[in-house]
């Protein structure tokens, strides 16, 4: 299956975008689809474990993984696995966020989510990431 790829252009410098996609205090402002709040060890600024619980009126959803690579200010890569209602971590996929400085001080943002379980999962993640990126755009 082809990976999910989402591209955006943010009219702010690359260093600011990198902070918002890597540091906990910024991630918690936009992580998770609209209408959800998040808690957890959401630090993507260094290799190691991370986790997040997204809370909505319809329930809570936990996801976790390992940060596998960080190259400031251009790249954050991590694994991704949803937890079931008993806390068991399921299928693992991989996310990479790439940033590229543009000549006018803006930043090209590319999110690639690969190894998703199936087309339904890809569609659901597209919806979730698209909603989350609207929140990121608003806080930048």
pLDDT of 3 above 90: yes
Six-digit token string for 12: 């702010």
**What's the chain's average pLDDT?**
96
Angle 119-139/14-22 helices, nearest 10 degrees? 120
pLDDT at 113: 98
- Give CA separation, 71 vs 5, 9, 97, 128, in Å: 20, 19, 10, 25
Average pLDDT of 113-124? 97
Task: Tell me the two tokens of residue 91.
Answer: 């299928």
Q: What's the pLDDT band for 58 if we cut at 50, 70, 90?
A: confident
Query: pLDDT digit string (tens) for 24-41?
Result: 999 999 999 999 999 999
Q: What is the mean pLDDT of residues 124-132?
A: 97
Name 30's Cβ contacts closer than 8 Å, sequence gap at least 6.
20, 132, 133, 135, 136, 138, 139
The domain segmentation of the chain, as residue ranges, is: 4-139
Give tens-digit pLDDT for 66-111. 999 999 999 999 999 999 999 999 999 999 999 999 999 999 999 9
Order of strands across the sheet that contains 37-39: 4-10, 107-114, 89-101, 75-83, 59-71, 48-56, 37-39
Could you tell me the fold of the domain covering 4-139?
Alpha-D-Glucose-1,6-Bisphosphate; Chain A, domain 4 (3.30.530)
What pLDDT does 43 receive?
A: 96
125 Cβ contact list (under 8 Å, min separation 6): 4, 113, 116
């Amino acid at each position: 299956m082809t990976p999910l790829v989402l591209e955006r252009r943010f009219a702010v410098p690359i260093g600011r975008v990198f902070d918002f996609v890597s540091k906990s205090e910024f991630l918690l402002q936009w992580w998770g689809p609209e209408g959800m709040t998040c808690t957890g060890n959401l630090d993507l600024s260094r290799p190691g474990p991370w986790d997040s619980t997204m809370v909505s009126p319809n329930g809570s959803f936990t996801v976790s993984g390992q940060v596998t690579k960080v190259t400031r200010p251009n790249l954050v890569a991590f694994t991704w696995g949803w937890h079931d209602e008993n806390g068991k971590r399921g299928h693992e996929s991989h996310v990479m966020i790439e940033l590229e400085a543009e000549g006018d001080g803006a930043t090209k943002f590319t999110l690639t989510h690969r190894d998703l379980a199936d087309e339904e999962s890809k569609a659901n993640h597209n919806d979730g990431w698209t909603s989350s990126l609207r929140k990121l755009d608003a806080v930048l």
